[in-house]
Amino acid sequence: MLGKLGVFEPVVHATGAAILDVYELTVGYNGTTALDRVTFHLNVGERVAVVGPNGAGKSTLFKVIAGVLEPTSGDVRVAGCSPRGHICIAYVPQRNDVDWMFPVTVEDVVMMGRFGRLGLFRRPGRQDRAVVRECLGIVGLAELAKRQISELSGGQQQRMFIARALAQESTLMLMDEPLTGLDMPAQERILALLDVLRMQGVTVMVATHDLNQAADYFDRVMLLNHRLLGIGTSAEVFTTAHLRDAYGGQLRLVETGDGLLALNDTCCGHG
């Protein structure tokens, strides 16, 4: 057991492999099926929005990809290997799931991203602190490094977690509703950061409630409601039939001269 506490040795990424292969993934909890035979592939550097109603299995999907939950059946491969072989998968939690009163500063949280590479007994060194400063600079939080985390605004909190994922040197980033509850300028700063991530070759999956944002800012969209209803361009996926399948009565659809208008995902809770 103690051998596992040394420096974790991540697997070497197979070149040419898709960054993420999900095959016939099924996850059940106490008799209900959260995910039902989901199959898809992502390429390196791709940016995908995951859309679906509350309780559609978005968080479950992310947790299985991150190697936090075990699939009931089916297979998940990250760069050709089991998720548990990697320390480069970052999961950015929903803001509601975080204890903001916890006694840590912004730089403490970002430093946690480095811990996977340190191993037992080793404390963060000068290089780790330099990486943390750099990541805070990228997300524009260098000035707030010493603040306790409850002193940040919602958008700043989200950017702090992106900085942590950068410090983790993650190649696959799973963001669980990072835009929910943020005002437009804060949302735009985060969407701009997604471009920075793309330049660094980071593959990003973002769970979101906003269909228009999903269509406008992402390479592909994925429509999920336990089953995978579609993955592709927004024109291919956001069809009347698919959206009715996903949302039932939760979504107002209006046929216009130009095509289909989705008025809103009526819910915006957190789930």
Partner 1 sequence: MAPLLEILVAPLRYPFMVRGIVAAILVGIVCALVGTYMVLRGMAFLGDALAHSILPGIAVGYIVSGGGRGPIFWWGLGTGILTALGIGALGKGAQVKEDTAIGIIFSGMFALGIALISTMRSYAVDLSHFLFGDVLGVSPSDLWLTAGLAVLVSVIVFVFYKEFLVLAFDSTLAETLRFPSGFLHYLLMVLIALTIVVALQTVGIALMVAMLTTPAATAYLLTKRMAPMMGIAALIGAVSGIVGLYLSYYVSVASGAAIVLVCTGIFLLALLFSPRRGIVRGWLQSRG
Interface with partner 1 by CB under 8 A: which residues?
1, 4-5, 8, 30, 63, 66-68, 84, 87, 89-91, 93, 98-99, 102-105, 108-109, 112, 115-116, 118, 120-121, 123, 148, 164, 168
Query: Which neighbouring-strand residues pair with 232?
Result: 221
Q: Where are the alpha helices (DSSP H) in the chain?
A: 58-65, 106-112, 126-139, 154-167, 184-199, 211-217, 234-237, 240-247
Nearest Cα neighbor of 242 from 212, 28, 232, 175 is: 232
Q: Is the distance from CB of 51 to CB of 208 less than 8 angstroms?
A: yes
Taking a C-beta distance cutoff of 8 angstroms, is the pair 179, 208 a contact? yes
Number of other residues whose CB lies within 10 A of the CB of residue 208: 24
CB of 9 or CB of 255, closer to partner 1: 9
Whose Cβ is closer to partner 1: residue 26's or residue 105's?
105
Residue 245 Cβ vs partner 1, minimum distance, rounded to whole Å = 30
- How many CB atoms lie under 10 A from the CB of residue 55? 15
Nearer to partner 1, 158 or 168 (CB): 168
Burial of 110 (0-12, 13-18, 19+ CB in 10 A): buried
* CB nearer to partner 1: pick between 162 and 228: 162
Least distance CB 64 / partner 1 (angstroms): 11
66 vs 211 by CB, closer to partner 1: 66
- DSSP secondary structure letters along 19-61: SEEEEEEEEEETTEEEEEEEEEEE-TT-EEEEE--TTSSHHHH
Cβ at position 184, least distance to partner 1 in Å: 28
Shortest Cβ distance from residue 148 to partner 1 (Å)?
4
Q: Which is nearer to partner 1, 47 or 164 (CB)?
A: 164
| Cβ nearer to partner 1, comparing 136 with 221 | 136
Q: How far is the CB of 146 from partner 1 (least distance, A)?
A: 9
CB of 186 to partner 1, least distance (A): 22
Report in angstroms how near the CB of residue 168 gets to partner 1 at its nearest: 8
In angstroms, what is the minimal distance from the CB of 87 to partner 1?
6
3-state helix, strand, coil in the chain (%, to 5): 35, 30, 35
- Tell whether the torsion through CA atoms of 222, 223, 226 and 228 is positive or negative: negative
Q: 89 or 243: whose CB is closer to partner 1? A: 89
